[in-house]
Structure 1
């Protein structure tokens, strides 16, 4: 505004006052027209997010503290909602839920901002899940397939390999034109550094953005972290890109929300969680979908991770997330102790819509493997009683033990869809019947190399696949 255009006039504005502060929460009197999820500015330049509206006081989450908020400090409207910078500038970066860099690099230069908490796409904007998303895991890609736009829960006790599976899924997107967002919630700094280093070594940071709220961060930051990651992914989805989002993990997120709610004196419910804990996660995960071409045509696939106690699936938060998501991958402690890695319980794991997106060749080759494996587990339990078994049952047990060895896989070693089809056909057509289970497992790299050298694709005829696999086994030592 030019100097000559300036006019003196009466200006009215609201002003509040800090009444109390502690544990990342500020209690404020005044600001009668303030709204939930609105940003407010403190007198020292700090910012906060309105989280609780009361008759006399309002509660705000402290986000950025400059010099220190104290009682009696003035508070005003910031005039905007909480948003994060989005765009390709975030790829390869490690940021906090507000977009501030945590990797000792300059701030991300973004031209567009997106609100952290936004409405999920309407039903009219959504399309059917029709394209597969490969995680590189034998069990998941063949028996529990995931489609682009699906919400697949990873559930199990602590230390069983849930995060490793999600990390494998991120590494498997290399060269597939799928962007990734990894959200780390409430983890110690050593675990965060290990995850970032694993992504860097595999070259996955080139297409991945990492959002971090460490264990020592304020509860408000841990609460906002998954919404920040979802906002980044939503921008790319609206731009027509395919995105994979990993929330590691939502157990700590729920605990942070419970902590905030109790600090703000909200009435507790079951297990001391507030009554709207179901809505908290549903409004986050419902934003993952496939969009119709006229609404962008992109997709957002969500892999939320949840922790159980002693394998208890009927706990409050696990049951909530199971009902929200499109299936779950269940990790079992007994399988882990027995050395079956990844320790995925095939009987309890399910993918409700991923089968529609699975490639027909893989779907056909794996049609009976799930049932055969579950029957083998029952027969093996029965055979432990020492009863005499006929030849047919002995053959099923032998093939089941071989399948158990074939399903084993090292962490951070994702396989391509061609490798999946190779071992499925070799096992299903009996090409490995003459080998012992350990020998069959040792020959898998030979099969994978033969498929790569022959230039096979999933669309090639089944006969050509079998000829190539048989020839590779014939020359194997």
Structure 2
């Protein structure tokens, strides 16, 4: 046998070493490859005969150029979800194993880009050059690699930053009916990360194209697209891509977290994701469970959200904060998917349609919202000023019920009700207008000092706008003494 050696006289030293190592390991042997055949294809699923060595989550390459992911193993065939489908894919097409797991390109090259769950750009900014790839579905960081949530992540929302605080590395569920303002809050949170050194990933799952375009244009208009990656699997996409979308966004964020950066991931929304997974499972003839969802639907979302955490200093100290969104029907928070996600996450922000109808925006129901670990990450000054405000506000909501019966109340009760009405007016906030933490501190001090008590409820908005303008024009530090805050705010509201 004649062996033709490549010309290596002018090759770099590193290449010579690699070639020498390859030659030292090379062995003459019989090489075998498996070949399967597509039995049927439809609804984003391909049934393949053959390929006995196939593994779960292995990428299968089809003869026509299509690709699929092994998702179901039976004794006589395998089911694969299509990732890319050409018009020539039919029964009888040959299939080949690649031995590869599904991965996606990661890195700073993704900032400002719109991609699909496979990392293919959907915008008009050209191709993306990746230097690093990561597997999409991996295990979450072990306990010893994690650290406590101790740094605040500000959303710019008055209610959340004061009464339902969030920390970097937290998983906070946003739950409510369709059209109640859940996505608006998520977009506000992304916009509020401007100049805060937080990279954002916004995952759109099964949304209409008009919604996708609206989100992208909003982020671009407010300068948030520069530090954001948008992962899109729109409503017309194959169910396999909708299933992979949140894992793709999580993988992109995980790469930055491993590099020591702080990240924020929005999953909009996991209700659609669960329905896509149910569709795939039923098409693959898996046994249905409650509400026809497969039995591992809880594991599906838990293995996704458990990857969000704050890493220890030895691991770089990065963090991934997750804002999963889930939709309810008629405010039924005890439905199957919402209760699953509530048990997985570290708290929930509940949007109430009745509050929305009454004009209280954002329509966050404080009585049903909670942040289990965010209080430990809240800034000490904000935490001290907020104090018992949430409890007082809840008591006001109960006392207000008695006013509907026209009963005469004591003077102290009337005073508490008036302060509660003032606080409710303060907590109202327009969409796409996140507030700075300095302004949050300013209105808290003003409210606690009773500087709004003598005002009519209709005057609160004007005074808040004046206060916000003064805070914006003045260089303030949230750590400065409370007496300084009091003096400044009294002068501004005089």
1:331 to 318, 341, 351: 351
1:367–1:56 CA distance, 2 compared to 1 (3 A)? same
Distance 2:340 2:44 in 1: 27
- Residues 171-215 of structure 1 show CA distances to partners (whole Å, capped at 9, x for unaligned) of 000000000000000000000000000000000010000000000
Paired residues for 1:442-457 under 5 Å: 442-457=462-477
Partner of 1:171: 191
Distance 2:381 2:331 in 1: 35
- Match of 1:92, SS state, is coil
Distance 1:387 1:8 in 2: 96
User: Does residue 366 of the first structure (1) align with residue 386 of the second (2)?
Assistant: yes
Q: Which moved more, 1:145-154 or 1:380-389?
A: 380-389
Q: Which moved more, 1:388-397 or 1:314-323?
A: 388-397
Question: Is the 1:402–1:438 Cα contact (8 Å) retained in structure 2?
Answer: no
Paired residues for 1:186-225 under 5 Å: 186-225=206-245
Distance 1:394 1:471 in 2: 28
1:385 to 405, 417, 436: 405
- Residues 361-388 of structure 1 show CA distances to partners (whole Å, capped at 9, x for unaligned) of 1001111111111111111101111111
Q: Could you tell me the TM-score, scaled by structure 2's length?
A: 0.94
- Match of 2:71, SS state, is strand
Paired residues for 1:8-19 under 5 Å: 10-19=30-39
1:286–1:7 CA distance, 2 compared to 1 (3 A)? closer
* Cα drift, residue 9 of structure 1: 5.9
- Residues 329-371 of structure 1 show CA distances to partners (whole Å, capped at 9, x for unaligned) of 0000110011000000001000000000000110011111111
1:28 to 44, 48, 73: 48
User: Does residue 100 of the first structure (1) align with residue 120 of the second (2)?
Assistant: yes
1:431 to 440, 443, 451: 451
- Residues 288-339 of structure 1 show CA distances to partners (whole Å, capped at 9, x for unaligned) of 0000111121000000000001011111100000000000000001100110
**CA-atom RMSD, angstroms?**
1.3
User: Does residue 411 of the first structure (1) align with residue 431 of the second (2)?
Assistant: yes
Distance 1:450 1:430 in 2: 19
Partner of 1:239: 259
2:63 to 43, 55, 76: 43
Question: Is the 1:450–1:468 Cα contact (8 Å) retained in structure 2?
Answer: no
Unaligned runs of 5+ in 2: 7-25
- Match of 2:399, SS state, is helix
Partner of 2:140: 120
Distance 1:307 1:396 in 2: 35
Partner of 1:153: 173
- Match of 1:45, SS state, is coil
1:375–1:120 CA distance, 2 compared to 1 (3 A)? same
Distance 1:324 1:116 in 2: 20
1:296 to 289, 301, 316: 316
Partner of 2:418: 398
Question: Is the 1:451–1:469 Cα contact (8 Å) retained in structure 2?
Answer: no
- Match of 1:443, SS state, is helix
Q: Which moved more, 1:133-142 or 1:70-79?
A: 70-79
- Match of 1:336, SS state, is helix
Distance 1:302 1:150 in 2: 6
* Cα drift, residue 389 of structure 1: 1.1
Question: Is the 1:451–1:468 Cα contact (8 Å) retained in structure 2?
Answer: no
Distance 2:48 2:452 in 1: 71
* Cα drift, residue 224 of structure 1: 0.2
1:275 to 295, 312, 323: 295
Question: Is the 1:180–1:243 Cα contact (8 Å) retained in structure 2?
Answer: yes
Distance 2:413 2:88 in 1: 73
- Residues 427-475 of structure 1 show CA distances to partners (whole Å, capped at 9, x for unaligned) of 111011111112122111211222333322111000000100000011x
- Residues 388-439 of structure 1 show CA distances to partners (whole Å, capped at 9, x for unaligned) of 1111111111111111110000000000100101111101110111111121
Aligned residue pairs total 473
